[in-house]
A and B are shown apart, each in its own frame.
Chain A
Amino acid sequence: DAGVIQSPRHEVTEMGQEVTLRCKPISGHNSLFWYRQTMMRGLELLIYFNNNVPIDDSGMPEDRFSAKMPNASFSTLKIQPSEPRDSAVYFCASSLTVPVGETQYFGPGTRLLVL
């Protein structure tokens, strides 16, 4: 298996622009997680999906952030409009929910820089 795939790997954009991050989970996994990592705040869970349905989006910072999972093999995280404080590494991860306790596998991350 190719593992969790994220694109782009790096993104540089200007403040106010829309940014879309993409994720393809491991085939067969039914849970998908979006994380943000910064030096100041560490690793933060933004949102997670189970069977394509958002279960908990309490970590989404504000309305500028939105996430979708239209099917089992694709998810997007969108920031509109982007701000410099959104600069971070964004990780997507996937896992199985059954059996319980299955390991979460991470993608390589997208490094976002908002100027």
Chain B
Amino acid sequence: AQTVTQSQPEMSVQEAETVTLSCTYDTSESDYYLFWYKQPPSRQMILVIRQEAYKQQNATENRFSVNFQKAAKSFSLKISDSQLGDAAMYFCAYRSAMGTYKYIFGTGTRLKVLA
């Protein structure tokens, strides 16, 4: 069975600085999708970025980018020029490209942004 691990329960970053959140996963599949979701204090889960495993190029969305290392089964999220509004819980998620429709979520990393 697939698993997703976020080993950093909490991270802090100074405003305008860069921070990287870690995510590793375990799977025997070769084709899958990876996601980062943000959950601010409002509790709304918001998609930040997604990555297709078959693509070698790392996904980028404005200040958010990923470092996808397929062989290492690593999928880290880099937030550049951190803003106070980036403070939230961040969840990494995995979805198989076949069979199950299930998304597997990590336990989350709480990001604090210091002014």
Please give, as numbers and ranges, the residues of chain B lying within 8 Å of A101 by CB-CB distance: 32-33, 50, 52, 95, 97
The segment from A13-21, A40-48, A65-73, A79-87 found at the interface with B is A40-48
Is there contact, CB below 8 Å, between B101 and A93? Answer: no
Tally of contact residues, A, Cβ under 8 A:
24
Closest A residue to B101 by CB, please name it.
A31
Which residues between 80 and 115 of chain B lie within 8 Å of chain A, taking CB atoms?
A: 91, 93, 95, 97-98, 100-103, 105, 107-108
* Total contacts A-B at CB 8 Å: 51
Is there contact, CB below 8 Å, between A103 and B50? Answer: yes
Which residues between 23 and 58 of chain A lie within 8 Å of chain B, taking CB atoms?
A: 31, 33, 37, 42-43, 45, 48, 50, 55-56
Is there contact, CB below 8 Å, between B101 and A109? Answer: no
Bound CA–CA A55/B99 (angstroms): 11
- Chain B interface mostly helix, strand, loop or mixed? strand
Which residue numbers of A lie inside 8 Å of B, CB to CB? 31, 33, 37, 42-43, 45, 48, 50, 55-56, 89, 91, 93, 95, 97, 100-101, 103-106, 108-109, 111
Listed by A's residue number, 28 A-B pairs whose Cβ atoms lie within 8 Å are A31-B101, A43-B105, A43-B108, A48-B101, A48-B102, A55-B101, A56-B102, A89-B43, A91-B45, A95-B101, A97-B101, A100-B33, A101-B32, A101-B33, A101-B95, A101-B97, A103-B35, A103-B50, A104-B35, A104-B47, A104-B93, A104-B95, A104-B103, A105-B47, A106-B45, A106-B46, A109-B43, A111-B43
Q: Which 3 pairs between the two chains have the least Cβ-Cβ distance? A: A106-B45, A101-B33, A43-B105
